[in-house]
Amino acid sequence: MPELRKDPFVSNRWIIFSPERKQRPVEFSSTDKEKGKEPFDVFSWGKENLTPHEVFALRPKGGLKDSPGWSVRVVPNKYPALRIEGDLQAEGIGIFDRMNGIGAHEVIIENPNPDIELEDQTVEGIAGVLQAYRERILDLQQDIRFRYILIFKNKGRLAGATLKHPHSQLIALPIVPREIKEKIEQARRHFGIKERGLFADVLREELRSGERVIMENSFFAAFCPWASRFPFESWIMPKFSSLDFSTLDDNQIMLLSDILQNLLRRLKKGLQNPDYNMVLQTAPLRNSRQDYMTAVEVDFRWHIEILPRISYLAGFELGSEFFINPVFPEEAADFLRQIRKI
Amino acid sequence: MPELRKDPFVSNRWIIFSPERKQRPVEFSSTDKEKGKEPFDVFSWGKENLTPHEVFALRPKGGLKDSPGWSVRVVPNKYPALRIEGDLQAEGIGIFDRMNGIGAHEVIIENPNPDIELEDQTVEGIAGVLQAYRERILDLQQDIRFRYILIFKNKGRLAGATLKHPHSQLIALPIVPREIKEKIEQARRHFGIKERGLFADVLREELRSGERVIMENSFFAAFCPWASRFPFESWIMPKFSSLDFSTLDDNQIMLLSDILQNLLRRLKKGLQNPDYNMVLQTAPLRNSRQDYMTAVEVDFRWHIEILPRISYLAGFELGSEFFINPVFPEEAADFLRQIRKI
């Protein structure tokens, strides 16, 4: 059974121990032995019976559950990091802390064609994927055991992908992750000093200077953040106050899809189809939000981070939580701005 | 010029922007194109004029500086992440914070033979490498601009190594890294509640249960930590109170070398020569220590972390600072304990 363990040395750092993940078809390995050996694609039309039953799908022309004809399909992960069944039980083992590995782990199949990556889809297609993100958050947040939902995408082997068919993943957690807690705490400190929102202040500064902005539309801005950890790291942030991704309406999602498509295509063209991670950092779920966000004085804002994986994380980064980045974000943004014909 | 930038959203997270690192012979790349294309080895005997002048060396039979005959040799990194020359200047740019990229970046060449890895050396050979670590800390801590020295080793491409010749690296920083600050803060909190040291308490618990212990000798214990981030993650910690690695004497270093050799050989044999990072986390330097460690109530203890890189860090880890690990540390320790004939 999976288990959550708390790091005794680093506050808010938790580890999911997930022994079932060892039995995945693609085993972890230090070598590139299995490269090119692509497992049988279970994420296309007609293979619906090879995945767990779907929990959401978009079917433009209608159709039965678990049948072909879908444009986006969400299924539980066959090799979940956490288990949906059971009660949350937290306990101490001597000095250490553990919890049952309760959570949800789902796969968002972005389209039925294994060769069409997210950035290759139409703006309507990407909007469908973003709608699936929203609908899954809205559904899962009803489960009071969960405090946070992280949605992410691993593209390419260096980004940790084991299956080629374009997909995103969702993990619902009984704990708010360290990085999110930290950002909320930092926003609270900022408000304490300035009486202004941190996310709003940073975005205002980015838009005023423009040095790190890649593009913007009426609702959203894409920029390379001041303290980018990775070369060409790019964020998309709403220009309006928006705590929770799941509150977006369809019009906002269309404009988000448009800027996301544009940004991903620039990265693809400029960096020759790089491996990347994409992460959606939204607010903690409603039922745990009061613990972290006493209303107005925390201006947390959901945002999407795209982390190209064109360099390796080494001992320095893993041993210090310091990062070395050879590319200034001003230079990265300038490069991405200038790409024509995306 | 390199520059240090502070993350506005995550407290104590700093990024080193190091444009010079782009010009390294091995460029960063998403593909494995350059695999096998090993650059000319400048770290062997007779090539001393191809590196910057040495700052330390062990020469068992004597000999001139920058001449052959050394067993361990330390040189400034030819492509440093930080620059040693200049004054520390911190300033605000609008809402953001930056600092000049001042620091030291050195390479510890562990032996003259490119094919003898650290774990393949004799116990005396490894002790020489650990002595070099100690001597470089003792020398660099006289520079009052520095607050921390991180020593680490990247073995293999997945661990971020770009050169094959076995070497470690040292980076002296004007800032105490986030992970170290966090561990000190956590130890302080623990003392506040328990009136006991956190590191001592955790080690006592590990030795009592024995479940995660791989081996121990009179001075040191090797164990897989309770909240291992990586499969087969292994730490070495002193069994005596020891804040600062540079205070070790030669006898202690011999016993550390012995347990380190043993542990690395178990990992090599058990995991088929895995890529790994090794990190030495020691206390902040003396001249900044009073800020972080008001004497007795912080029992920080230096330790070595070995992080096998047999799985990839993906969007979940990078987007949440949560980790998924398929291997329980009890299982990992049991596996490593049972390896015979190392």
Joined tokens for residue B125 = 């050979």
Give the mean model confidence (pLDDT) for residues A247-254.
98
What CATH topology corresponds to A178-337? HIT family, subunit A (3.30.428)
pLDDT at residue A204 tops 50 = yes
What CATH topology corresponds to A3-173? HIT family, subunit A (3.30.428)
> H-helix or E-strand containing B263?
helix B250-270
Spatial contact of B68 and B49, defined as CB atoms under 8 Å apart: no
pLDDT at residue B323 tops 90 = yes
pLDDT at residue B33 tops 60 = no
Give the mean model confidence (pLDDT) for residues B109-136.
98
Nearest residue on chain A to B19, alpha-carbon basis:
A326
Chain segment A286-331, per-residue pLDDT in tens: 877 666 565 556 789 999 999 999 988 999 999 999 999 999 999 9
* pLDDT (0 to 100) of residue B298: 76
Question: What is the rounded CA–CA span in Å between residue B15 and residue A325?
Answer: 7
- The residues, ordered by sequence, that sit 6+ positions from B66 with a Cβ below 8 Å of its Cβ are B48, B49, B53, B54
Q: B294: pLDDT confidence band, cut at 50, 70 and 90?
A: low
Known catalytic residue: B167? yes
A205 touches chain B (CB under 8 A): yes
Joined tokens for residue B148 = 């921390």
pLDDT at residue A138 tops 80 = yes
Give the mean model confidence (pLDDT) for residues A142-165.
94
Give me the percent of chain A exceeding a pLDDT of 70.
92
CA distance A47 to chain B (A): 26
Question: What is the rounded CA–CA span in Å between residue A282 and residue A254?
Answer: 18
CA distance B299 to chain A (A): 12
pLDDT at residue B14 tops 90 = yes
Chain segment A58-92, per-residue pLDDT in tens: 999 999 999 999 999 999 999 999 999 988 899 99
Residue at A5: amino acid letter: R
Q: B23: pLDDT confidence band, cut at 50, 70 and 90?
A: low
Domain with CATH 3.30.428.10 in chain A: 3-173, 178-337
* pLDDT (0 to 100) of residue A298: 76
Q: Which of residues 159-178 of A touch B (CB under 8 A)?
A: 159-161, 169, 171, 173, 175, 177-178
Is B178–A94 a contact, with Cβ atoms under 8 angstroms apart? no
> What's the mean per-residue pLDDT of chain B?
92
φ/ψ of A4, rounded to 5, equals -105, 130
* pLDDT (0 to 100) of residue B119: 97
Q: What is the gyration radius of the CA atoms in chain B, in angstroms?
A: 20
Question: In chain B, what residues touch A315 (CB-CB under 8 Å)?
Answer: 152-154, 159-160, 169, 277-279, 307
Question: What is the rounded CA–CA span in Å between residue A222 and residue A226?
Answer: 13
Chain segment A22-62, per-residue pLDDT in tens: 766 544 443 444 445 556 899 999 999 999 999 999 999 99
Q: What is the gyration radius of the CA atoms in chain A, in angstroms?
A: 20
Joined tokens for residue B71 = 């067993």
Give me the percent of chain B exceeding a pLDDT of 70.
92
Is B326–A22 a contact, with Cβ atoms under 8 angstroms apart? yes
> Least CB-CB distance to B310: which of A15, A29, A152?
A29
Joined tokens for residue B36 = 């096998």
Chain segment B150-209, per-residue pLDDT in tens: 999 999 999 999 899 999 999 999 999 999 999 999 999 999 899 899 999 999 999 999
> What's the mean per-residue pLDDT of chain A?
92
Residue the block writes with tokens 């005997």: B45
Give me the percent of chain B exceeding a pLDDT of 90.
85
Question: In chain A, what residues touch B305 (CB-CB under 8 Å)?
Answer: 319
A13 touches chain B (CB under 8 A): yes
Give me the percent of chain A exceeding a pLDDT of 90.
85
Nearest residue on chain B to A156, alpha-carbon basis:
B30
Chain segment A274-291, per-residue pLDDT in tens: 999 999 999 999 877 666
CA distance A63 to chain B (A): 33
Nearest Cα to Cα of residue A148 among A159, A137, A139, A135: A137
Chain segment B239-287, per-residue pLDDT in tens: 999 999 999 999 999 999 999 999 999 999 999 999 999 999 999 998 7
Nearest Cα to Cα of residue B84 among B107, B106, B102: B102
A271 touches chain B (CB under 8 A): yes
- The residues, ordered by sequence, that sit 6+ positions from B225 with a Cβ below 8 Å of its Cβ are B212, B233, B235, B329
Residue at B241: amino acid letter: S
pLDDT at residue B318 tops 70 = yes
* pLDDT (0 to 100) of residue B293: 60
